[in-house]
């Protein structure tokens, strides 16, 4: 949590939850997507020439997916990571088991309302991950895509054993 999230305390973890709730990567994705989707191809290509590879990649992903994703934005990316932070926060002793479960169910409800299936959630997560980091996508993006495909195709995977519409009340 410290290396990837700069989380060293319960307070850091709670602040990160707030950041994710307040917009997380969705906020930047939507702001960039709104701006670059209005550019003519020549303007967009000229803009890319002035950016490093990471920033150019973020703009490319925002341009490619902003209108397609609409209100979903990168909800899957942000809230799947929120749930991971709950698990890690519990293991690190920053959250009690009850606190972790309350937050997990909260995030799961958001995901369930936003998406219609595990497939949609997984695809959104992968788009968010690509937006977040070109370097990580180049490093292990194929492995992440393969894991996504296994979750969809393996009959014993949780995605095939647990109904997307599971009652979370």
* Distance (Å, whole) CA 93 – CA 139: 31
* Distance (Å, whole) CA 96 – CA 111: 23
166 inside domain = no
152 inside domain = yes
59 inside domain = yes
Is pLDDT of 115 > 90?
yes
**What would the two tokens of residue 24 be?**
């997380």
Chain position carrying tokens 């602040």:
15
| Ramachandran angles phi, psi of 144, nearest 5° | -65, -40
Contact present, 151 and 122 (Cβ < 8 Å):
yes
Task: Please tell me the predicted confidence (pLDDT) of residue 161.
Answer: 97
* Distance (Å, whole) CA 49 – CA 59: 12
Is pLDDT of 88 > 90?
yes
81 inside domain = yes
167 inside domain = no
Is pLDDT of 50 > 90?
yes
Could you tell me which residue, 169 or 100, shows the higher pLDDT?
100
Is pLDDT of 157 > 90?
yes
Task: Please tell me the predicted confidence (pLDDT) of residue 146.
Answer: 98
Task: Please tell me the predicted confidence (pLDDT) of residue 169.
Answer: 86
| pTM attached to this predicted model | 0.95
3 inside domain = no
Give the range of the structural domain holding residue 74, as residue numbers without chain letter.
8-161
Largest distance between two CA atoms of the chain: 53
How far CA 32 is from CA of 44, 51, 62, 73, in Å, comes to 12, 14, 6, 11
User: For the chain, what percent of residues have pLDDT higher than 90?
Assistant: 99
Query: Which H helix or E strand runs over 55?
Result: helix 53-69
168 inside domain = no
104 band by pLDDT with thresholds 50, 70 and 90: very high
Using only C-alpha atoms, the chain has a radius of gyration, in whole angstroms, of: 17
* Distance (Å, whole) CA 151 – CA 107: 20
> What total of structural domains would you count in the chain?
1
Is pLDDT of 17 > 90?
yes
* Distance (Å, whole) CA 125 – CA 145: 10
Crossing angle between the packed helical segments 134-153 and 53-69, to the nearest 10 degrees: 40
């Amino acid at each position: 949590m410290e290396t990837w999230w700069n989380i060293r305390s319960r307070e850091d973890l709670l602040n990160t939850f707030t950041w994710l709730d307040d917009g997380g990567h969705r906020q930047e994705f939507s702001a960039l997507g709104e701006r670059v989707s209005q550019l003519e191809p020549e303007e967009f290509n000229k803009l890319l020439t002035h950016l490093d590879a990471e920033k150019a990649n973020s703009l490319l992903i925002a341009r490619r997916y902003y209108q397609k994703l609409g209100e979903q934005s990168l909800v899957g990316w942000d809230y799947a990571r929120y749930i991971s932070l709950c698990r890690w926060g519990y293991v690190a002793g920053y959250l009690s088991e009850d606190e972790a479960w309350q937050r997990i169910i909260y995030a799961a409800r958001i995901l369930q309302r936003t998406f219609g299936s595990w497939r949609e959630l997984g695809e959104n997560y992968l788009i968010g991950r690509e937006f977040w980091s070109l370097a990580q996508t180049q490093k292990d993006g194929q492995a992440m895509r393969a894991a996504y495909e296994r979750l969809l195709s393996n009959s014993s995977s949780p995605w095939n054993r647990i109904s997307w519409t599971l009652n979370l009340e």
